[in-house]
Amino acid sequence: MFKFLFGARAEAPVVKRETQRETVERAQRELNEILATLTPKARITIYPEEGTFTIDLPEQMPDEAKALPAPDRTV
């Protein structure tokens, strides 16, 4: 009756949710792509008991070296 006012309802798009495995695999792939380009390389520490890891990045990233002045070392 009110289709002329509100328009015909389109079907809602189907959104596929990622499984946990797909999320972890995607995140790992993206991290590997980024870390492979770093010079100097980041140090990665894995904590198997906790199931976590840390990434110690260089003080200045390559793209920061192009865009920002050198960090002040008088701190």
Mean pLDDT of 55-74: 74
**Structure confidence by residue, pLDDT tens digits, 4-60:** 667 667 778 888 999 999 999 999 999 999 999 888 889 999 999 999 999 998 887
* Domain segments of the chain as ranges: 41-67
Confidence (pTM):
0.58
Separation CA 42–CA 57 (nearest Å):
5
Element (H, E) at 47: strand 43-47
For residue 2, the number of C-alpha atoms closer than 13 Å in the C-beta half-sphere is 2
> Would you state the pLDDT for residue 60?
76
